[in-house]
């Protein structure tokens, strides 16, 4: 898959029976605060799906529920066919997760981090050694395998984090602002890897504040104060809001959330 062919994928929302991710009125309440309110959407298998919204819109809470790390207050969701309420362990075995903080251990080497996460995802023996060798080569990490992660740049930490997240060949990959704090060249390389994974059938859900990255997704969902307020291609969403670009949609949403009038 290349950036130029992303829009060739079907635009319609997939049927839930064949969806990699399905949510139905998914809701999470913390005390008096409703962080996520009645989300209903599907993500097709092999789709690159973007989730956008101002800070506090519910993106990370949604991902944590879909990863089986946080139980919904109400509603339902399945990930890779497993129920988020009752089958969290099964979900975690079938997904990869990468956060904006990368989640690496700075006082361990690149090799040690990869070894640790490979074991955590259930790999062992010859299978683990073979997969680690593959990742060290395909991600360009072998020259740095003995270096402490804490001494590396943000771009290299990002690459290591992605390698750890895909060590077990997950069916679905959750990326929570994975390019925050890295340079433009590293961001471009990262998205090349995302497309390569998607072309191999991996379903990818990514949250981002970079509008050029949002445009690379096949479909995007906009959240505002826990509500899903738009879903579709970039063209469909900008048309719905009557704005020329996704960036203008985002700015308008932020104005609304902050109570600012033009």
pLDDT tens readout for residues 86-135 = 999 999 999 999 987 768 899 999 999 999 999 998 899 999 999 999 99
Contact 240, 232 (CB under 8 A): yes
Domain ranges, residue 239: 29-104+171-258
Residue 45: CB partners within 8 Å, gap ≥ 6?
A: 14, 18, 19, 20, 171, 201, 203
User: Has residue 109 been placed in a domain?
Assistant: no
User: Has residue 150 been placed in a domain?
Assistant: no
Q: How far apart are the first and last CA of the chain?
A: 40
User: Has residue 13 been placed in a domain?
Assistant: no
pLDDT tens readout for residues 131-181 = 999 999 999 999 999 999 999 998 899 999 999 999 999 999 999 888 877
User: Has residue 159 been placed in a domain?
Assistant: no
CATH number at residue 98: 3.40.50.300
- Of 192, 175, 172, which Cα lies nearest the Cα of 184? 192
User: Has residue 52 been placed in a domain?
Assistant: yes
pLDDT at 200: 93
User: Has residue 140 been placed in a domain?
Assistant: no
Question: Domains in the chain: how many in total?
Answer: 1
Burial 177-208 (b: 16+ CB within 10 A, else e): bbbbebeeebbebbbebbbebbeeebbbbbbb
User: Has residue 110 been placed in a domain?
Assistant: no
User: Has residue 134 been placed in a domain?
Assistant: no
User: What is the three-class DSSP state of 1?
Assistant: coil
């Amino acid at each position: 898959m290349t950036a130029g062919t992303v829009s060739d994928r079907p635009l319609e929302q997939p049927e839930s029976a064949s969806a990699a991710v399905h949510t139905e009125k998914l809701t999470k309440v913390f005390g008096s605060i409703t962080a996520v309110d009645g989300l209903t959407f599907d993500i097709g298998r092999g789709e690159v799906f973007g989730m956008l919204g101002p800070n506090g819109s519910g993106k990370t809470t949604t991902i944590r529920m879909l990863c089986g790390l946080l139980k919904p207050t109400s509603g339902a969701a399945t990930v890779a066919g497993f129920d988020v309420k009752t089958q969290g362990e099964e979900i975690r075995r079938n997904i990869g997760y990468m956060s904006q903080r990368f989640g690496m251990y700075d006082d361990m080497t690149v090799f040690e981090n990869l070894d640790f996460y490979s074991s955590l995802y259930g790999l062992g023996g010859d299978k683990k050694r073979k997969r680690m060798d593959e990742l060290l080569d395909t991600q360009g990490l072998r020259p740095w395998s003995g270096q402490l992660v804490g001494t590396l740049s943000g771009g290299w930490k990002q690459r290591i984090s992605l390698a750890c997240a895909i060590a077990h060949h997950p069916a679905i990959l959750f990326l929570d602002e994975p390019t925050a704090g890295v340079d433009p060249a590293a961001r471009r390389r990262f998205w090349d890897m995302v497309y390569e994974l998607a072309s191999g059938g991996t379903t990818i859900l990514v949250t981002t504040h970079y509008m050029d990255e949002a445009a690379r997704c096949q479909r995007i969902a906009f959240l505002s104060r826990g509500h899903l307020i738009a879903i579709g291609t970039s063209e469909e969403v900008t048309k719905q809001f009557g704005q020329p670009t996704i960036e203008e949609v985002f700015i308008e949403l932020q104005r609304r959330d902050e109570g600012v009038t033009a």
